[in-house]
Structure 1
Amino acid sequence: MMFHRTALKALLALALTLSLPLAALAGEITVSAAASLTNAFQELKPLFEKASPGATVAFNFAASGPLLKQIEAGAPVDVFASADQKTMDQAAAKNLLAQGTRKDFAANTLVMIAPATPKPEFKTPKDLTAKAVERIAIGSPESVPAGNYTRQSLTADKLFEALQPKFVLGESVRQVLDYVSRGEVQAGFVYKTDALIAGDKVAIVAEMKNHDPVTYPVAVIAASAKKDEAGKFIAFLLSPEAQAVLAKYGFREP
């Protein structure tokens, strides 16, 4: 039985390794980052590489929960950037982080959105209880930080259980955004930065309250063989140049 468990874990780690960008195997640092960071981090890539001669970076974007599972299974990750403190706390509790490297580098706002056309008739989360609203997209609360923040907010307003039968669960905040952008649901909950990325396809209906602060921590992974380069990436995220790019996409300083 022990052999089978060990073999299964090894196969899982191999599968996760192969799912990461192949370029990472050639020497770059691999940064596993929350899906909501996709556009900002892609713009930061050439700026970081210019500021750090000889250093290159490959990204792996997904919901924070699945990213943590990949790291725990042994995927070759050098830096982890989460969309919430809870997931990073779990990584720390499992001794996956290099001591003294954890930093907060950005903050965000959770919003309720709807397809821009036709113009949304609802204005508050409570309005979603109306029979006319049948499908609401949220990130899976157990693995997607935006979904957990949504659950916190709706629970505080005593709306979560009433709305739960209408939920369409997304595997990441970007999948939720896609559902709303394509008009497959009547409402959804994403970060303000995601809504801005969608442009005129979605309308921001309301800002959500009564949830944990949406702050983004980043840390070097303890098993990384490239801690110096990984540390340089984190230092770059905190630089005025990187913070200006993050602000361009709607992120705030933590």
Structure 2
Amino acid sequence: MKHRQRLLALALAPLVSLGAAAQDITVSAAASLQNAMRDIGAAYQAARPGSKVNFNFAASGPLLAQIAQGAPVDVFASADVETMDKAQAQGLVKIESRANFATNELVLVSPLSRAAGLKSLADLKRPGIARIAVGTPATVPAGRYAQSALEAQGLWADLTPKFVFAENVRQALNYVSRAEADAGFVYRTDAIVDKDKVRIDLVVPTTKPVVYPIALVAASRNAAAGDFVKFVTGAQGQAVLGKHGFSTAP
């Protein structure tokens, strides 16, 4: 991790000027990052007087679409490698600035207001589980992770009639928190946010690790953006992420 941080610092060095800290920065970040990123933004602003970090949170797919359509964004943080790969393939991010900065776990949750009982993904087939919240796989990384895990166990097709598709992982969490769904797929860090309303029944074995990449948007000319990426991947940003339940990227 330290070696990657040194390489990233060298790549971003030309993008950071003495006056960078006083500029506004616009960051588009995956919905699951909103609590951690808001705290990182506050810490960054405290360390860079006069700076301001503005956030746009949504599912990674729609955020990528917004950037492709010319949205004024400086930094993109995705909840999966696949979406960032698409951004890179389309020339929408600066390759040399790209870095994996956090990892997470996909978990199966259920409402605390109901009796526990989900011990395996196969338990979702029980008649008492009528509605399962999951992010729309086409646009929500958590939904893709869930689909792959369920397909690996031959359960996706059987469970499809029960799915309540969400626009992002936080919406899936809200469905379960309000007991509008009997179970749902979210990240561990999301479940922690509503730990007084949902329980973690099990960690879902994903076919790919849940990795979060960050990169500068190619169209941005904001010198401060590189400084912010360095802050996220550096000691202060990583400490904040850790407090919110994220792990360091391998």
Q: Give the TM-score normalised by the residue count of structure 1.
A: 0.87
| Residue aligning to 1:193 | 189
| Residue aligning to 2:29 | 33
Matching of residue 75 in structure 1 with residue 71 in structure 2 = yes
Q: How big is the shift at 1:125?
A: 0.9
Matching of residue 118 in structure 1 with residue 92 in structure 2 = no
Q: How big is the shift at 1:149?
A: 0.3
Listed as ranges, the gaps of 5+ residues in structure 1 are 1-26
Q: How big is the shift at 1:54?
A: 3.8
> Aligned AA for 1:125?
L
Which of 138, 141, 160 is 2:134 aligned to?
138
Residues 156 and 210 of structure 1 are in contact (CA less than 8 Å); yes or no, is this contact kept in structure 2?
A: no
Q: How big is the shift at 1:145?
A: 0.3
Q: Supply the distance in 2 between the matched residues of 1:206 and 1:224 (Cα, whole angstroms).
A: 41
Deviates more, 1:76-85 or 1:93-102: 93-102
Q: How big is the shift at 1:156?
A: 0.5
SS at match of 2:63: helix
SS at match of 2:61: helix
Which of 158, 176, 179 is 1:162 aligned to?
158
Q: Supply the distance in 2 between the matched residues of 1:158 and 1:247 (Cα, whole angstroms).
A: 34
Work out the percentage of aligned pairs sharing the same amino acid: 50
Which of 82, 99, 102 is 1:103 aligned to?
99
| Residue aligning to 1:13 | none
Q: Supply the distance in 2 between the matched residues of 1:211 and 1:191 (Cα, whole angstroms).
A: 15
Q: Supply the distance in 2 between the matched residues of 1:100 and 1:84 (Cα, whole angstroms).
A: 18
Q: How big is the shift at 1:221?
A: 0.4
Q: How big is the shift at 1:122?
A: 2.2
Matching of residue 241 in structure 1 with residue 236 in structure 2 = yes
| Residue aligning to 2:221 | 225
Which of 33, 38, 50 is 1:42 aligned to?
38
Cα RMSD of the aligned pairs, angstroms, is: 1.0
Listed as ranges, the gaps of 5+ residues in structure 2 are 1-22
Q: Supply the distance in 1 between the matched residues of 2:95 and 2:186 (Cα, whole angstroms).
A: 31
| Residue aligning to 2:10 | none
Alignment size in residue pairs: 227
| Residue aligning to 1:11 | none
Q: Supply the distance in 1 between the matched residues of 2:81 and 2:206 (Cα, whole angstroms).
A: 16
Which of 178, 186, 203 is 1:207 aligned to?
203
Residues 150 and 211 of structure 1 are in contact (CA less than 8 Å); yes or no, is this contact kept in structure 2?
A: no
Q: Supply the distance in 2 between the matched residues of 1:141 and 1:48 (Cα, whole angstroms).
A: 33
Q: How big is the shift at 1:210?
A: 3.5
Q: How big is the shift at 1:50?
A: 2.2
Q: Supply the distance in 1 between the matched residues of 2:210 and 2:221 (Cα, whole angstroms).
A: 30
Q: Supply the distance in 2 between the matched residues of 1:242 and 1:68 (Cα, whole angstroms).
A: 23
Q: How big is the shift at 1:28?
A: 1.5
Q: Supply the distance in 1 between the matched residues of 2:217 and 2:230 (Cα, whole angstroms).
A: 15
SS at match of 1:121: coil
Q: Supply the distance in 1 between the matched residues of 2:213 and 2:95 (Cα, whole angstroms).
A: 14
Q: Supply the distance in 1 between the matched residues of 2:229 and 2:108 (Cα, whole angstroms).
A: 31
Q: Supply the distance in 2 between the matched residues of 1:239 and 1:210 (Cα, whole angstroms).
A: 27
Q: How big is the shift at 1:124?
A: 1.1
SS at match of 2:193: helix
Q: Give the TM-score normalised by the residue count of structure 2.
A: 0.89
